Structure 1
Amino acid sequence: MSGHGQTIPMRTRPKGPLKGTADVPGDKSISHRSLILGALSVGETKIIGLLEGDDVLDTGRAMEAFGAEVTRHDDGSWSVFGVGTGGFAEPDRVIDCGNSGTGVRLIMGAMATCPISATFTGDASLVKRPMARVTDPLALFGAQAVGRSGGRLPMTIVGAADPVPVRYTVPVPSAQVKSAVLLAGLNAPGHTVVIEREATRDHTERMLAGFGAEISTEDTEEGRVITLTGQPELKPQDIVVPRDPSSAAFPVCAALIVPGSDVLVPGIGLNPTRAGLYYTLQDMGADLTFENMREEGGEPVADLRARHSPDMKGIDVPPERAATMIDEYPVLSVVAAFATGTTRMTGVKELRVKESDRIQAMADGLIACGVAVDTGEDWMSVTGEGPGSVKGGATCASHLDHRIAMSFLVLGMAAREGVAVDDGNPIATSFPIFEPLMTGLGAELAREG
């Protein structure tokens, strides 16, 4: 059973070309941060294009529990009336973050330097994920964490009554860890410094600056050094959320592997810390173009056009690109199954501690569908034999992971015998309109049972 409802078995089969325009939802990362920073501001933050998936809605409910007022208007826009930096109230209930590692880790950071306590939990997937990577640096501010063995949820965070600023080097590339430390630093005096040896998605830095925080970034021999001046008064903003590049990956990749397809995906955020998949697909020979390049809300945006690409070749994906596409490796492995030759993905051990062990989950399903796969602790290789080569026919386990479920459903749109997933319910956490969007493009996608 999924964390947010009944199991929903689903199946896709080859039907014909995918054609049309795919209006994907708002960016999940920016949606989370819009709600949290709005709650830490004084006054009304207005949000247009918020992703209304379960993960983000859970974050909105959490902000209400900490004292903010969060309202959805009839036109689909949202308002957040914030309580100011350090103004979180102690919640009177357990904070359930559902499936969202991003949500729980960022919220922990935001409350860790407030003199309150809060208990966090999540669904069957989230309670298995490690939280020590966040609670360890939060302890440097003076916060305390008590949870299950292995640093897992449910967990209570006791915020620091007298927080101190922190200088912290992130041990592995993680935008969640970096962001949690920066959000904690908002209510600490002086300067909080985060050092990244490898740059990760920078939405938090961009948005903190937009809300009026004093924050700077410098590239040094140590790495990327981010310095935040604590205890600002954040100013409410009007935010237009760009469309999610991680969600766009599914209609884009489906178009590349389904014969005759031509799909336009408009208004996609192409922040350079998020766009690694699209450059990788171009390196493989995909017919993928960026049209109408522009800037919206401080983020680069473009319309993506993807056409069936029968001549794609396997490549070695540069390991330094991993942080810019970490959520897209599952669907990249599907594309690799229809390319010719071996696609090798290295430096991706972070995939093992996502909503599922994504390396193992994708390997098991691809092998069951007749694809040659090899794996190691921090790498995966997929050897494809070109268009029409994937047999399919398997029922693949989603492991309560939305990206695993959607990736195998994309596989089934081009595999000879189609593909089923045991549970498509987790898709609602990030891409609640996945089914109607894909069927609107011409895919055959059905619920079973």
Structure 2
Amino acid sequence: MTTHTNGPLACRRKGPLRGTIEVPGDKSISHRSLLFGALASGETRVRGLLDAEDVHSTRKAVVALGATVREEGDEIVVVGPEKLREPGDVIDCGNSGTSLRLLTGVLSGIPGLAVLTGDASLRKRPVRRVIDPLRKMGANLSARDGDRLPPVVIRGGPLRGARHVMEVASAQVKSAILLAGLFAEGETSVVEPERSRDHTERMLRGMGVPVRVNGLEVAVSAARPRGTRVDVPGDISSAAFFLCGAAALPGSKVTVRNLGVNETRTGLLDVLRAMGAKVTLEGAREIAGEPRADVTVEAAELRGTEIRGAVIPRLIDELPVVMVMATQARGRTVIRDARELRVKESDRLAAMGETLARAGAKIELYDDGCAIDGPTPLRGVPVQTRLDHRIAMSMAIAQLLTGGDEVVLDDVACVATSFPSFFRLLDQVAAGAAP
């Protein structure tokens, strides 16, 4: 079928999925390479930067703060000014929660006034859990609806280090605090209940910033990063759609090359193995501080499993498509401790639960997760994507499990925020035509 990335889309593909692909660069690492490069002395050269709307938002933001970003061949070069400046206008973060939260941390330490806003979806996402710890450091912040929702107004100024004990593991909140700590007097530390993705710690260390890690505590003191080289691996959150689809569709075998396999991000691989899928990693290597490998998943008879606790922060973005895969597993799959899903681009838990139930899944929703009984054949349904890229892509994978029924996605423009080539790659592996 024709690749389509705007407006409504009728999906009608058949499996199995077969082939070898590369997915675009990791979104989390791409955001950080631009922002940290803008903070750094000297130049930062980035290979493999994700070319998607969320990352474009961060790129435009750092330019507004005085950084220079240019393309040289297959690299993006970021050169930061001596000091970042007050922006001349409101900064629009689009749909990117990462841009807004990390910039809130940085701008807290830059003298001047800044306003961060975003699209209709982003303006519904809570910001108090970033604002409160930054205020503890002396930051002057305010937001709409009693400091709960964007836009966020920041009056940057002197900060003091503080120790923060977080109730919920969040790499975005942790990163915002640590970035503010680069401008603060004294040490700034974050203690999480579970490990969240550690791209910030790895990249800061690679840029010469002393980062102290002690178990679940991470600490920094005032420092300026040094420019470096960044090589962005493929994004496991993007690969998840193909890997879960391959696990659930009989006869499938998909390899994703050059995939980031940072252990704080590989909860999906643990769950795939626990459910009985055949998972193999080849060519494991580490480049610019981030491990990567070629990952292959083959279909198998899947079995239900329990997904909770420490693994949740390691696969929070992948849970919507894990829910799709779980409809094909024998027995019961239980997901708990995933309340975070309710404050993403949409309430992903409610959206996926309601949509899969209409498609025939046996699913019970909890406040922090769900239980899914299977295996259950799915049927084609109309889908409200709710401006959420992961719902759109997850339900495109669900369509493959209907036996050929049509699934109509009401709006897939949101896919461009993270994965503009998704439908093209899905056509490729559904046709078995990947090289």
TM-score class, shorter-chain normalisation, is over 0.9
Correspondence for 1:46: 45
Alignment of 1:403 with 2:390, yes or no, is yes
Change beyond 3 A, Cα 1:412–1:390: same
For 1:235 and 1:320, the matched residues in 2 are separated by 33
Alignment of 1:245-260 (within 5 A): 245-260=236-251
Higher alpha-carbon deviation: 249-258 or 22-31: 249-258
Correspondence for 1:447: none
Q: Contact between 1:11 and 1:409, CA under 8 Å: does it hold in 2?
A: no
For 1:378 and 1:20, the matched residues in 2 are separated by 35
Cα displacement (A) at 1:420? 2.1
For 1:313 and 1:89, the matched residues in 2 are separated by 54
Cα displacement (A) at 1:391? 2.9
Q: 2:262 aligns with which of 268, 271, 287?
A: 271
Correspondence for 1:375: 365
For 1:246 and 1:70, the matched residues in 2 are separated by 26
Q: Contact between 1:186 and 1:228, CA under 8 Å: does it hold in 2?
A: yes
Alignment of 1:337 with 2:333, yes or no, is no
For 2:79 and 2:424, the matched residues in 1 are separated by 33
2:130 partner amino acid? V
Alignment of 1:188-337 (within 5 A): 188-219=184-215, 224-230=216-222, 232-309=223-300, 311-337=301-327
Alignment of 1:438 with 2:429, yes or no, is no
Correspondence for 2:81: 83
Q: Contact between 2:195 and 2:310, CA under 8 Å: does it hold in 1?
A: no
Q: Percent identity?
A: 44
For 1:168 and 1:443, the matched residues in 2 are separated by 50
Correspondence for 1:427: 415
For 1:317 and 1:194, the matched residues in 2 are separated by 25
Correspondence for 1:3: none
Correspondence for 2:153: 156
Cα displacement (A) at 1:397? 1.2
Gaps of at least 5 residues in structure 1 are 1-5, 445-449
Correspondence for 1:182: 178
Higher alpha-carbon deviation: 148-157 or 207-216: 148-157
Gaps of at least 5 residues in structure 2 are none
For 2:247 and 2:408, the matched residues in 1 are separated by 20
Find the residue that maps to 1:172 and give its secondary structure. Answer: coil
Cα displacement (A) at 1:443? 5.2
Q: Contact between 1:113 and 1:141, CA under 8 Å: does it hold in 2?
A: no
Cα RMSD of the aligned pairs, angstroms, is 1.5
Q: Contact between 1:214 and 1:228, CA under 8 Å: does it hold in 2?
A: yes
Cα displacement (A) at 1:7? 5.5
Find the residue that maps to 2:185 and give its secondary structure. Answer: coil
Alignment of 1:361 with 2:351, yes or no, is yes
Cα displacement (A) at 1:12? 2.3
Cα displacement (A) at 1:197? 2.2
Q: Contact between 1:113 and 1:142, CA under 8 Å: does it hold in 2?
A: no
1:41 partner amino acid? A
For 1:26 and 1:274, the matched residues in 2 are separated by 14
Cα displacement (A) at 1:114? 1.3
For 1:337 and 1:363, the matched residues in 2 are separated by 11
Find the residue that maps to 1:398 and give its secondary structure. Answer: coil
Find the residue that maps to 1:226 and give its secondary structure. Answer: strand
2:229 partner amino acid? D
Q: Contact between 2:247 and 2:272, CA under 8 Å: does it hold in 1?
A: no
Q: 2:167 aligns with which of 160, 165, 171?
A: 171
1:325 partner amino acid? L
Cα displacement (A) at 1:88? 1.5
Find the residue that maps to 1:42 and give its secondary structure. Answer: coil
Cα displacement (A) at 1:257? 2.2
Correspondence for 1:62: 61
Q: What TM-score comes out, normalization by structure 2 length?
A: 0.95
Find the residue that maps to 1:83 and give its secondary structure. Answer: coil
Q: What TM-score comes out, normalization by structure 1 length?
A: 0.92
For 2:220 and 2:151, the matched residues in 1 are separated by 30
For 1:148 and 1:216, the matched residues in 2 are separated by 35
